[in-house]
Amino acid sequence: MNSFLAPRHVNLINACYPSSSVLLAPGSTFHPLPSELSQLVDYASNNVDTSAKLAKLGIELKKQASAKARKGKGGNVRARARLLVTISIFSALAKKCEHDIDVLSTALLSTTKDSLTCLPNNLEVHARVANLFIAWANYTDGAIIGPDIQCTSDYISTLKLFREQCIMTGEDVEAVSRNQLIGLAAINAAIFSDAFFTSSKQFPKLFPKQVAIVVPALLNALHEAGIHAIKDEYKVILTDLPISPLHFSEFPLRPITRGRAASIHAHVDSETRPGLSDVINTSFRVLRTLIGRCNAAQLSIVFDSILQQVDKDNLWENIIISNWYAGHVIAWAQDQHRYAVPTLLVDKLLRIRVSHSSAKHFALVRILTCIFTSSKSMVNPTTSDILSNLVKVLLNRIGINSNDQLVLPLVECISSLGTHVYSAYQINELTEEVVNRIVYVQTNWLPTQGRTGQRPAREVALRCLLSCLSGLPNAADEHAIKHDTKSTGDLSSNDKGISMGARAPLRNRVDLEQWQETLPLLCEPDYAIRAMYARGLAAFIRTELEQEPFVHEEATGASSSRAVKVVVDPQLKSSVMSPYLNPNPISRFLHALHAAAFSLAMATCSVSIATMTWSSPPPEDRQSAKQYAILRRMIGAQSLVPMLSDFSFLRQVLTCALQQVPCRAVLTGVPMLVALARSSRKLEDSVQYVGRLRAIWEMMCHLWVVIGEVWDVPIITECARTALESLHQTILPPLSDVSPTRLDPPEEPIYFPTPLDPLRLDAQGLVNIEVVLPALASSAGLQAITGLDRQGLLRQFTIEWTVEGAVKESIEPTSMWGILRRLVGTSELRKQHGSRQNSMSNSHVPSRIGLHTNKSTPDLIVRAAAIFRPSSNRNSRASTNHSQSFEEDEHQAEDDQSSGSGSGEMSFAASRSSVASRAGYQSNHSSLYSVSSKPASAGPVLSSSSISRLPEILASIERSSRSRQASTTSTPLSSRQRFTQH
C-alpha cells in the first residue's frame, strides 16, 4: 500500500506486491505485478544517480525480505508469499542493472542468507533464492568479495547453505534430488563467477575456504552412488547430452545473454521427476568446470580438497575411485597446470612418518602411477624433482622396514615416470639421479641406517633402484610402441630376457658414463643384486649402445638367439689412425666392463687381479681419486664368492657387447680374455677352484665362438668348439627370461655341481691363444676397419692387461697431459728424456695404460700444447685469439717465477693450470689434430706430422728452460725479454 509520507522508492516497491487475496489464491505464481515492476526497474535504471537509487532500493528490499523471512519461519503463509515476491523484485533489478550489481551486492547476499536460514526446508523459496544468487554471480566482477567484510561473510555463509542442500538426505527421493540440484546450480554459478577466482589474488586464504565448501557438495552424490554409477553416468556426459530443462535450466555460460539469467523452479505437474542420476550428472559437469578454470596453485588446492573428502568418507581402500579421480582431474585440467597434481601427491608421501603403510599411502602411490601412465601428458613437469622425492620416500620406507608392502608400488611408480618423454634429455636426467643414489647406497648404505644398517635393507634398496634404472627407459619405449610410434629396431628379433623393446625415437640414448658408474655392482657380495644388475646391463647394451655401422643382424627363427656378422665394404680403406683406435665413451665403458668381469671371475682367488700403486689418492688429483674409488668399489668386496650362474650372466653380457660393438669390444676385450686365460691357469692345482676353472674356460669358449662367428673367422670358431667339446662336461646353466624391470623375490644362485673331474694340466678345454689371436689379427674386415696390419693387431691383443690399467683407461682424462699421453703414447716422449726416464722405467705398464715420468714432464707437455698453431686458414681468428691468451699466460707465469718467492711459485702453478685448461680447448683447433673422414663422434685424430714434431718441440723447450734458469742467476731480464728469448 502506497503512503504519501513514504519515499518514492518505497512506494514503487510496495506497488509491485499483488493483493493478499491474489497471493493466497490457488495456483498463484508469487510474482510481482508486471506494470508496477516495470516502473520500478525504469526508475532504478535511469542514468540519473543510478547508484544512489539502487542503494536505497537494496536497503528497503533487504529490510522487507528479512522481516518476511522471520515471519515465514513461524508459519505465516502470507509472509512467505510476500517473501517470494520480494526475491523476484530483487532478481529483476539485478538483471536490469547488471553494471551496478556491486551496489546491490551487500543487500542481495544478506537477503539470500536470511531467506535460506529462516526457511531451510521450503523448496520454492530455495529455488527463488538460487535464481537471485545466480543472477548476482553472473554479473558481479568479484571486487567486493574480500575488501567488504560483511559482504564476504554473507557470501561464504550463502555457499555453506547451498552446500547443505547438496548433501541433504531424506526418504523423499524427489524432494532430496530437487534440493541437491538447486544447490548444485547455485554452486555452479559461483564457480563461473569472477568472485570465486579473482578474490584469491589479493586474499589467498579466501580461495581455499571456498573450495573446502564447494568440493564436498560436488562429491557427496558421487561417493553415495559408487564407482559403477559414476562410470555409467560419465558415459552419458561424454555424449554431450544437454541437461534436462525439466529440473532446472542449462548452466549459465559466461558471458550470459544480456538481461537474462538462468532460472530454477520447483516441481510442475506432468514433469519427469529428478533422480540420483541427474544429481551425479550435474555434479560431474560442475566439477569439470571447477577444475578446468583453475591454474596450477588452485588446482593443487582443489585436488587436495578432493583427497580430504576421500579420507573423510574412508574410501582409500576403493582404489578404483581414487584412480578415477586422478585420471579425470588430469584430463579436465589445462595442460600447463597438470603438473600440480603429482607434485601435491609427492609432497603428501614425503610427510609419511608412520612405521606401517596404510591404505592411504598405497592409494597415493597408485594415483601417481595412474597419472604418469595416463594418455594425457603434462607440460614442463619437474620430473627430476619428483623422481628425487620419490626415491627419498622409497629409501625411507626401506630404512624403516625392508619388508614394507609399499616398496613394490613405489618402484612401479618411479619407473612409470619415464612413460611420457617431454624432452630428449629427460631419461638421461632421471637415470643420472638413480645412478647417484645407487652409488651412494652401495658405498654408504641407507641414509636412515648408516654403516650399521641391516644387510637385507641394503640389498632391497639396491634391487629397487636397479629396477627403477631399467624401468625408466623401458616405460618410454613401451609407451612409444603402444601408440604406434616409429621404432628404431625390430622387436620380433630381440631376446625377451635381455632386450625390453625398441627405443623410443623422441629420447636420446642413456649416457654411457651413467651406467659406467654402476659397473662395480657386478662385484657385489649379494648374488641377488649381481643377477638383477647383469640382466639390466645386458638389456642396456642391446638397446642403448649405438650399434657399429658395419654390423649386420640376420633374422633367426628362435627369439632367444641372435645372428650378427660384420660386413665390410671391400673398397673400404681406413686411415692409419682409425677412429676406432681412439678413446671414446664406448671404449671407456668397455674397459670398465671388462675390468668388472675379470674381477668377478677371479674374486677371492690367490691370484692378484690388480696392483694398487698408491695407498690413497692425492687430494689435488681428481682423476686418480676417481680411479681409486672405482677400484675400491670393484675389488673391495672381500666376501664376494662367484656362483656358477654368475658366469652365465658374464657370458650373456659380454656376448651382447661383442655383437653390438664388435670392433671396440674385440680391441678392449681380447686382452682381457688373454689375461683371464693366463690367470686361470694358476687355479689348476687347486681343488677348491675346479668348478670355477671349468666355468671360466667354458665361458671363454662360448665367447670365442661368438667372436669367430661375428668376424667370420672359421678357424676361431672351430678351435673354440673343439676346446668346448674337450671339457666333456658343460656346466653353465641357461638363463630364464626375466625382465630386469620386475622386482621379483631375490633370485637364488645356481651352485657348482659336485663332484667335478679336475681338468688336466695340458689345458684341457682352454682355447689355444696361439691359434685364435693370429687368426683374428688376419681378419680382413678387422684390418680394414682399424687400419692396422696383422702385426699391429697382434700387438694390440697381447698388451699386458690389468684391472688397474683398464680402470685408468675407462676414465676420461681431465688434463692436457693425460690427453697427450693417450694420443701420442710414451715411446716418443721417452726418447727425449732418456737418462731421466731410465731411472723411472722399472714399471712394465704398457704405454696405453700408464706412464711414469718425472716432475717436469707435465710442464713440458703443457708448454708444447700451448705453442701449437693452426696450419689451416679455417678458424684463424679464433686460433689467433687463443694464441694471444696463451702468450699472456706465459708472460704472467714468467713474471711470477722471476720473483723467486713462494707465492710466485704458486702463481706460476695456477697460471700453468690455466694454460692447460685452455690447451684442452685449443687442441681441437690446432694443427695437432688432422681432419678425419670418419664421423665426428669418433674423436680427433693425431696427425703424423704433429707426432714427428712433438719430441723436437719438447727438447727445445727443455733446453730453453735450462738456459733461462742459468741466466736468471747472472743478469735479470724483464718478462718480455725472457719470453722473446724463449
| For range 274-280, the mean pLDDT | 84
* Nearest Cα residue to 663 out of 540, 599, 578: 578
Judge whether residue 256 has pLDDT over 50: no
Three cell numbers, residue 348: 603428501
Other beta carbons within 10 angstroms of residue 851's beta carbon come to: 20
Which residue would you say has higher pLDDT here, 927 or 416? 416
Q: Greatest CA span in the chain, whole angstroms?
A: 133
Per-residue H/E/C for 930-967? ECCCCCHHHCCEECHHHHHHHHHHHHHHHHHHHHHHHH
Separation of alpha carbons 586 and 368, rounded Å: 36
* Nearest Cα residue to 786 out of 567, 565, 581, 568: 581
Which residue would you say has higher pLDDT here, 873 or 607? 607
> Which residues, including other chains, have CB under 8 Å from residue 551's CB and lie 6 or more apart?
564, 565, 566, 567, 659, 660, 662
Query: What's the CA angle centered on 516, arms 515 and 521, to 5 degrees?
Result: 85
Separation of alpha carbons 829 and 824, rounded Å: 8
pLDDT tens digits, one per residue of 481-491: 877 544 444 44
Tell me the average pLDDT of the chain: 76
* pLDDT number for residue 400: 86
Judge whether residue 337 has pLDDT over 60: yes
Separation of alpha carbons 565 and 529, rounded Å: 33
pLDDT tens digits, one per residue of 544-577: 999 998 998 876 544 456 788 888 877 666 555 6
Which of 189-203, 339-353, 642-656 is least confident?
A: 189-203
* pLDDT number for residue 962: 54
Which of 139-143, 350-354, 379-383, 859-863 is least confident?
A: 859-863
Q: Is the pTM of this model over 0.95?
A: no
Using an 8 Å Cβ cutoff, are 776 and 798 in contact? no
Distance of CA 379 to the CA centre of its chain: 13
* pLDDT number for residue 907: 37
* Nearest Cα residue to 522 out of 539, 536, 543, 510: 536
Which of 36-40, 292-296, 317-321 is least confident?
A: 317-321
* pLDDT number for residue 890: 40
Which residue would you say has higher pLDDT here, 497 or 48? 48
Judge whether residue 687 has pLDDT over 90: no
Which one-letter amino acid corresponds to residue 752? Answer: F
> Which residues, including other chains, have CB under 8 Å from residue 809's CB and lie 6 or more apart?
583, 587, 588, 591, 668, 848, 849
Helices (H), ranges, 401-485: 407-416, 426-444, 455-482
Which of 111-115, 345-349, 540-544, 977-981 is least confident?
A: 977-981
pLDDT tens digits, one per residue of 746-780: 889 999 988 777 766 555 678 899 999 999 999 99
* pLDDT number for residue 4: 57
Other beta carbons within 10 angstroms of residue 14's beta carbon come to: 16
Helices (H), ranges, 778-901: 780-786, 790-797, 803-809, 816-824, 827-831, 834-838, 857-867, 876-899
* pLDDT number for residue 575: 56
Which of 39-43, 707-711, 714-718, 905-909 is least confident?
A: 905-909
Reported confidence tier of residue 227, pLDDT bands at 50, 70, 90: confident
Separation of alpha carbons 773 and 252, rounded Å: 84
- Residues β-bridged to residue 942: 929
Helix (H, G, I), strand (E, B) or coil at 732: coil
Separation of alpha carbons 315 and 308, rounded Å: 10
* Nearest Cα residue to 381 out of 344, 410, 349, 406: 344
* pLDDT number for residue 305: 93
| For range 892-917, the mean pLDDT | 39
Reported confidence tier of residue 255, pLDDT bands at 50, 70, 90: very low
* pLDDT number for residue 582: 86
| For range 501-510, the mean pLDDT | 76
* pLDDT number for residue 881: 41
Helix (H, G, I), strand (E, B) or coil at 363: helix
Q: What crossing angle do the helices spanning 101-118 and 50-73 adopt, rounded to 10°? A: 0
| For range 821-830, the mean pLDDT | 45
| For range 574-588, the mean pLDDT | 80
* pLDDT number for residue 964: 52
Percent of the chain predicted with pLDDT > 90: 31
Q: What crossing angle do the helices spanning 276-292 and 319-332 adopt, rounded to 10°? A: 50
pLDDT tens digits, one per residue of 6-31: 788 888 888 888 888 887 887 778 88
* pLDDT number for residue 375: 83
Reported confidence tier of residue 209, pLDDT bands at 50, 70, 90: very high
Whole-angstrom CA distances from 376 to 329, 338, 577, 956, 960 are: 11, 9, 51, 68, 70
pLDDT tens digits, one per residue of 694-732: 899 999 999 999 999 999 999 999 999 999 988 888 899
Using an 8 Å Cβ cutoff, are 43 and 9 in contact? yes
Separation of alpha carbons 368 and 386, rounded Å: 10
